[in-house]
Amino acid sequence: MGNNAALRKADRIKEDEFYTQLPDIEKELSHYKEYFKGKTILCNCDDPRISNFFRYFALNFNEFGLKKIISTCYKNQDVDLFSQNDCEKAVYIEYTGNPNDPTSTDFSTMEVKNLKGDGDFRSNECIELLKQADIVVTNPPFSLFREYVTQLIDYSKKFIIIGNQNAISYKEIFKLFKENKLWLGYKSGDMSFRVPADSEPRSTRFWIDENGNKWRSMGNVCWYTNLDTTKRHEDLVLYKTYSSEEYPKFDNYDAINVNKTSDIPMDYYGLMGVPITFFDKYNPDQFDVIDGIGRYSILNNEETKKAGKYLSMVNGKAIYFRIIIKRKK
């Protein structure tokens, strides 16, 4: 059983190895520069020897006025981007800039230290590093996204992280959106990641470049944050008018269905079910988030399970998860 568990864990880690490109990091993080001054940044899923997150902050250490960068990685990482998961030690680094040459882009002389454990973000020694941080910025394991975000909230950390858009439909994540403790950053949609050399080809969104590097593109990736943005205070411009023919009610839930965020009617103030892409345009001053529905209610799961009704059903046809919202008058 122990060996099987280890193999399953190794498979999960392999599936979670997505190396974020520097341009994607630059595009998103350029919006948050005001938050970085005097702060300790933690990249706790990143080998500093290969991580573009670490590289971004190290290159801009003096411009941002950072206090420190801490970067840790799981033991399966190695200095080779395409390691075979045979590194015996998890490593970390604490970087406070290069006083001899602040403009240096050579980080090869950094002192890389060994962690006692495996570098799992849930381990005690990694939690101690987390406690030092002001802002956490990384691409965490998608398969552990619930646990990862829960830990950040439990330790009252500010963060800017990458996740799958479908994570919005997780009850732990959805609740944070509703409570205004979490929202989307500036970029949502397609993003390309470099993946390990032994990654299996996929039928779509997978390619090998001219240098033999393997890539995977994902069309449903978001930046999640709890740092305020200007974007989330912009009103969504509404132009359509309500009609019962175009906006039928759900069969088992007292709300109308809206298939596109852009189609939200400007003259309807009752409950509306919208796609999860709505959160990319969500302004908490314009709308209230009431619930989330699929087969059951995400907030009233036990009671709606017993009812045995598919809540996001329209005219007998079940549709994908809907966010229930209401206009603020």
DSSP collapsed to 3 states, the chain: CHHHHHHHHHHHHHHCCCEECHHHHHHHHHHHHHHCCCCEEEECCCCCCCCHHHHHHHHCHHHHCCCEEEEECCCCCCCCCCCCCCCCCCEEEEECCCCCCCCCCCCCCCCCEECCCCCCCCCHHHHHHHHHCCEEEECCCHHHHHHHHHHHHHCCCEEEEEEEHHHHHCHHHHHHHHCCCCEEEEEEEEEEEEECCCCCCCCCCEEECCCCCEEEEEEEEEEEECCCCCHHHCCCCCCECCCCCCCCECCCCCCEECCCHHHCECCCCCCEEECHHHHHCCCCCCEEEEEEECCCECCCHHHHHHHCCCCCEECCEECCCEEEEEECC
With bands split at pLDDT 50, 70 and 90, how would you rate the model's confidence at 192?
low
CA distances from 162 to 142, 187, 191, 224, 296 (A): 9, 10, 10, 6, 27
| 280-325 per-position pLDDT tens digit | 999 999 999 999 999 999 998 888 777 778 899 999 999 999 999 9
With bands split at pLDDT 50, 70 and 90, how would you rate the model's confidence at 83?
very low
Plot region of 155 (φ>0 → left; ψ -120 to 50 → alpha; else → beta): alpha
| 122-153 per-position pLDDT tens digit | 999 999 999 999 999 999 988 899 999 999 99
| 220-238 per-position pLDDT tens digit | 889 999 999 999 999 999 9
With bands split at pLDDT 50, 70 and 90, how would you rate the model's confidence at 15?
low
pLDDT at 6 (0 to 100): 40
Indicate the residue type of 278. F
* Percent of the chain topping pLDDT 90: 60
- Rounded Cα distance between 204 and 217, Å, is 9
Q: Are 322 and 260 in contact (CB under 8 A)?
A: no
* Residues β-bridged to residue 139: none
- Rounded Cα distance between 48 and 50, Å, is 6
- Rounded Cα distance between 142 and 167, Å, is 9
| 205-220 per-position pLDDT tens digit | 775 677 777 656 666 8
| 104-123 per-position pLDDT tens digit | 666 666 788 888 888 899 99
* Residues β-bridged to residue 126: none
Mean pLDDT across the stretch 54-83? 78
